[in-house]
């Protein structure tokens, strides 16, 4: 097939922040492609004078930039026309979110990239997580920094591959301090603003989870068509509409569901806000229509009812006025909620960055905590999802960097010594050879007393004593020595089947291995993912880089795309979970009260009187938790003194929760039921509270459903109401309790 008759393939190097190494990784991979004979050019790159990036650019063909005048200043931009005329097989284009100066062919660089793809040219490009349009509200809430340049989600959704350039917040801040990212005069300002420890952890977690979701979306897109959910976003005529639309689009992506936006506003009010909502919906691939009659709640509800939506998303009413239109609409929707889910979004939805009035913590607080641990050393782990991704090389590169900065580094155990890259790195490092049995020579290491020790493959165990390396590492840490090590996903509990399939491919330099307990990951100060797309790993197998030529065919069968994809997703989740744990410690240590909704925390709320609904509500919670990569708990509000019936209900809920692997949290009522639920949710950083729709029964005019009261009181917690017909009919006897 000739070039031009096909659309080019897009690969995106994704990062959590400037300086993580996206551009360097792209250029290094480009050099490998060039060595393999691929016709490629660098259509645009911005090295910012970083030595390693400049070095990676050497030997690559560079399309000269187009120089233009803007406001009396000479500006360099990518020369799209020259790149199209050159017609390479592959074009490397840095900074996908860049805005071109006026007068260029396109306003945005992502549009230039689309033109290259339309011409049949493959493109590699780079982007940071904060520039993805649907995540803009989350990024602004977490960092307090306004995001000016964004890329439509559809561009990234069309990418064949996302390659994550992962780095821990601690390592990125060290990189900043060493002057490898910004000039000296900007370092302290950056460390005290965007590059705070908490900011970087939250952005990193977003990048990890976005990579997981991209893989899922690509998998779903290749699957046969099936019946889908539909999401309807009811967008008000105010700035909260933009945040609501982004939230709804993210939900639609996780549900693999089409999304529609219903604009609700008066003719003479909120015109600009609704126009902005319509434009954002278009950018995010959501259909938009304006409500024809917004003067009555019944008319708006009728528009909602006519839609085929299975999930309705609305914003929580501002303030507490019971008679407001939004309150009346919610009450109407709750009364008639049958076979749908109602999502009331209470988290910050403002158009501008929302920064709490709390004083920001000292940016070095978390790093100082590490120094207070007495004489214990720090543990840094490189994790890989399968043999061959390059975790040994990354460990040795880290050792070389520390040595150049003056650290006394020793390599106590290393595999892959038959590979040229490993040999080159080892040549510049001091080695303390491991014992013939595979164990680290602890006595020799302790005698030499280095500040940093490298220990490859913590799953290896001594052939004589059967002691695993991870226990030896703990003894090194207790001696005050810092350890840089590697670990494979297949060597963790729960991956026994994958380990069986891939055992023949791993480096058997020391024989026997055993699973590494999860607690080792939990003890690690830093965990960094060594990411490599499965297709690239399979190419390494095919080239004979991992196994001898006679074993390639069998190895390719073991390295199936599905197996590698699942293992890669597991690695992304593990690192995201570790990052979330660090982030929560940071939040707790610095007494931050603002909700940082990076990882979802879901609670299913159920009264003891409605225990018959528990199975269905827990199923809904478990489904949502899997979809959102979230923690889940079951919470119930009880009276100060339990009667026999309530005690039996609590016991039944406890058994059900245990069978589902969920914690039951009984709450003694403090004030109203709604106030008790909201107080607990906000103190435990719950992002979504799942509740059953109120029972259809007549109330006195002053009575309101508990769900409506929860919605009124909750500020940072979303409320997910499950429709009546999605739950079983009440089977318990006796008078109905509060709904």
Upper half-sphere CA count for residue 647 (Cβ side, 13 Å): 4
DSSP-based three-state secondary structure for 398: helix
Residues 272 and 397 in one domain: no
Closest by alpha carbon to 499, among 484, 510, 485, 514?
514
Residues 398 and 536 in one domain: yes
DSSP-based three-state secondary structure for 91: strand
**How does pLDDT run across 50-81, given as a tens digit for each residue?**
888 888 899 999 999 999 888 788 889 999 99
**313, 345, 377 - which closes a domain:** 345
Residues 565 and 659 in one domain: no
Residues 575 and 611 in one domain: no
Residues 16 and 116 in one domain: yes
Q: Rounded to whole angstroms, what are the CA distances from 336 to 37, 304, 341, 609, 690?
A: 64, 11, 11, 22, 18
Q: Rounded to whole angstroms, what are the CA distances from 521 to 338, 396, 485, 489, 589?
A: 45, 20, 11, 11, 21
**Which of 81-85, 276-280, 654-658 has maximum average pLDDT?**
81-85
**345, 378, 403 - which closes a domain:** 345
- Residue 159 sits at the vertex; the CA angle it makes with 158 and 161, to the nearest 5 degrees, is 150
Q: Give yes or no for a contact between 47 and 57, defined as CB atoms under 8 angstroms apart.
A: yes
Quick check: 702 pLDDT over 70? no
Domain of 329, CATH number, reads: 3.40.50.620
Answer yes or no: is 381 within a domain. Answer: yes
**How does pLDDT run across 149-204, given as a tens digit for each residue?**
999 988 998 999 999 999 998 888 988 888 888 888 888 888 888 888 888 988 99
Closest by alpha carbon to 657, among 614, 596, 698, 718?
614
Quick check: 549 pLDDT over 90? no
Q: How many helices (H) and strands (E) does the chain have?
A: 27, 23
> What pLDDT is recorded for position 731?
37
Q: Give yes or no for a contact between 96 and 151, defined as CB atoms under 8 angstroms apart.
A: yes
> What pLDDT is recorded for position 699?
54
**How does pLDDT run across 204-255, given as a tens digit for each residue?**
989 998 998 888 777 765 655 455 789 999 998 888 888 899 889 888 888 8
**How does pLDDT run across 410-436, given as a tens digit for each residue?**
999 998 777 888 899 999 999 999 998
Residues 606 and 584 in one domain: no
Residues 377 and 464 in one domain: yes
Q: Rounded to whole angstroms, what are the CA distances from 256 to 227, 230, 249, 480, 675?
A: 10, 9, 10, 50, 35
**555, 589, 623 - which closes a domain:** 589
Domain of 149, CATH number, reads: 3.40.50.300
> What pLDDT is recorded for position 365?
37
* Gap between the Cα atoms of 525 and 485, Å rounded: 12
Count of beta carbons in the 10 Å neighbourhood of residue 276 = 17
Q: Strand pairing partners for 132? A: 151
* Gap between the Cα atoms of 650 and 20, Å rounded: 49
Upper half-sphere CA count for residue 140 (Cβ side, 13 Å): 23
DSSP-based three-state secondary structure for 576: helix
**How does pLDDT run across 341-393, given as a tens digit for each residue?**
999 988 666 544 444 433 333 333 333 333 333 468 999 999 999 999 999 99
Please, which pLDDT band fits residue 97 given cuts at 50, 70 and 90?
very high
* Domains contained in the chain, number: 4
Residues 159 and 249 in one domain: no
Hey, what long-range contacts does 30-34 have (CB within 8 A, 24 or more apart)?
30/60, 30/90, 30/92, 30/124, 31/56, 31/59, 31/60, 33/90, 34/59, 34/60
Please, which pLDDT band fits residue 82 given cuts at 50, 70 and 90?
very high
* Gap between the Cα atoms of 653 and 721, Å rounded: 20
* Gap between the Cα atoms of 623 and 630, Å rounded: 10
Residues 139 and 31 in one domain: yes
> What pLDDT is recorded for position 670?
87
List CB contacts of 357: < 8 A, sequence separation 6 or more: none
Q: Which string of DSSP letters, residue by residue, matches 207-270? A: HHHHHHHHHHHHHHHHSPP-----EEEEEESSTHHHHHHHHHHHHHHHHT--EEEEEE--TTSS
Quick check: 729 pLDDT over 80? no
Answer yes or no: is 575 within a domain. Answer: yes
Please, which pLDDT band fits residue 645 given cuts at 50, 70 and 90?
confident
What phi and psi, each to the nearest 5 degrees, are found at residue 100? -75, 155
In the predicted model, what is the mean pLDDT of residues 277-305?
Answer: 84
The maximal CA–CA distance of the chain, rounded, in angstroms, is 83
Antiparallel, parallel or unpaired: β 379-384 and 526-529? parallel
Please, which pLDDT band fits residue 441 given cuts at 50, 70 and 90?
very high
Q: What is the mean pLDDT of the chain?
A: 84
Q: Which domain holds residue 697?
A: 601-726
Residues 401 and 340 in one domain: no
Two structure tokens written together for 531: 């990411």
Residues 475 and 541 in one domain: yes
């Amino acid at each position: 097939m000739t070039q031009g008759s096909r659309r080019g393939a897009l690969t995106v190097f994704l990062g959590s922040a400037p300086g993580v190494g996206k551009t360097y990784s792209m250029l290094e991979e480009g050099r490998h492609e060039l060595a393999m004979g691929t016709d490629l050019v660098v259509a645009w790159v911005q090295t910012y004078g970083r030595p390693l990036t400049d070095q990676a650019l050497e030997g690559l063909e560079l399309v000269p930039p187009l120089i233009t005048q803007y406001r009396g200043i000479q500006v360099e931009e990518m020369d799209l026309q020259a790149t199209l005329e050159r017609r390479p097989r592959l074009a490397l284009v840095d900074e996908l979110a860049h805005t071109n100066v006026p007068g260029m062919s396109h306003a945005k660089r992502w549009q230039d990239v689309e033109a290259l793809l339309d011409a049949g040219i493959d493109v590699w490009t780079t982007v940071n997580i904060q520039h993805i349009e649907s995540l803009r509200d989350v990024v602004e809430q977490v960092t307090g920094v306004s995001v000016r340049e964004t890329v439509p989600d559809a561009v990234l959704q069309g990418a064949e591959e996302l390659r994550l350039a992962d780095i821990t917040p601690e390592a990125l801040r060290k990189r900043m301090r060493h002057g490898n990212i910004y000039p000296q005069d900007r370092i302290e300002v950056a460390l005290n603003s965007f590059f705070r420890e908490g900011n970087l952890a939250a952005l990193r977690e977003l990048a990890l989870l976005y990579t997981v979701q991209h893989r899922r979306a690509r998998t779903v897109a290749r699957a046969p068509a099936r019946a889908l959910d539909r999401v309807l976003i009811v967008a008000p005529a105010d700035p909260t509409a933009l945040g609501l639309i982004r939230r709804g689009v993210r939900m639609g992506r996780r549900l693999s569901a089409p999304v529609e936006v219903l604009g609700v506003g008066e003719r003479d009010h909120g015109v600009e806000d609704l126009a902005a909502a319509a434009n954002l919906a278009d950018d995010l691939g959501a259909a938009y229509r304006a409500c024809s009659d917004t003067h009555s709640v019944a008319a708006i509800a009728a528009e909602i009812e006519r839609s085929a939506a299975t999930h309705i998303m609305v914003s929580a009413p501002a303030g507490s006025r019971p008679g407001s239109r939004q309150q009346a609409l919610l009450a109407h929707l709750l009364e008639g909620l049958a076979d749908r889910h109602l999502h009331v979004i209470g988290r910050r939805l403002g158009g501008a960055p929302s920064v709490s009035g709390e004083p920001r913590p000292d940016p070095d607080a978390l790093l100082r905590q590490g120094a207070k641990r007495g004489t214990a050393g720090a543990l840094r782990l490189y994790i890989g999802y399968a043999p061959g991704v390059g975790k040994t090389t990354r460990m040795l590169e880290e050792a070389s960097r520390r040595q150049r900065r003056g650290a006394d580094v020793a390599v106590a155990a290393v595999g892959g010594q038959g590979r040229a890259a490993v040999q080159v790195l080892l040549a510049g490092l001091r080695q303390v050879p491991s014992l013939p049995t595979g164990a680290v020579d602890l006595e020799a290491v302790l005698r030499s007393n280095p500040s940093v020790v490298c220990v490859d493959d913590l799953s290896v165990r001594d052939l004589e004593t059967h002691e695993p390396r991870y226990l030896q590492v703990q003894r090194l840490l207790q001696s005050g020595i810092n350890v840089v090590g590697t670990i494979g996903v297949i060597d963790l509990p729960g991956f026994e089947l994958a380990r069986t399939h891939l055992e023949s491919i791993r480096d058997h330099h020391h024989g026997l291995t055993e699973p590494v307990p999860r607690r080792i990951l939990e003890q690690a100060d830093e965990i960094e993912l060594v990411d490599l797309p499965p297709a690239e790993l399979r190419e390494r197998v095919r080239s004979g880089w991992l196994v001898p030529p006679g074993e390639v065919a069998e190895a390719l069968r073991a390295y199936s795309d599905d197996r590698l994809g699942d293992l890669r997703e597991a690695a992304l989740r593990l690192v995201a979970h570790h990052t979330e744990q660090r982030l929560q410690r940071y939040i707790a240590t610095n007494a931050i009260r603002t909700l940082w909704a990076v990882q979802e925390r879901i609670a299913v709320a159920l009264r003891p009187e409605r225990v018959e609904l528990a199975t269905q509500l827990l199923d809904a919670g478990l489904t949502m938790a899997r979809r959102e990569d979230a923690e889940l708990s079951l919470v119930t509000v009880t009276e100060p003194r339990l009667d026999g019936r309530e005690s039996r209900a609590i016991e039944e809920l406890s058994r059900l929760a245990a069978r589902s692997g969920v914690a039951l949290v009984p709450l003694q009522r403090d004030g109203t039921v709604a106030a008790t639920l909201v107080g607990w949710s906000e103190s435990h950083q719950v992002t979504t509270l799942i509740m059953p729709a109120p029972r259809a029964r007549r109330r006195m005019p002053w009575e309101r459903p508990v769900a409506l009261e929860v919605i009124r009181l909750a500020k940072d917690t979303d409320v997910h109401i499950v429709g009546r017909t999605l739950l079983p009919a009440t089977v318990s006897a006796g008078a109905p309790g509060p709904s």
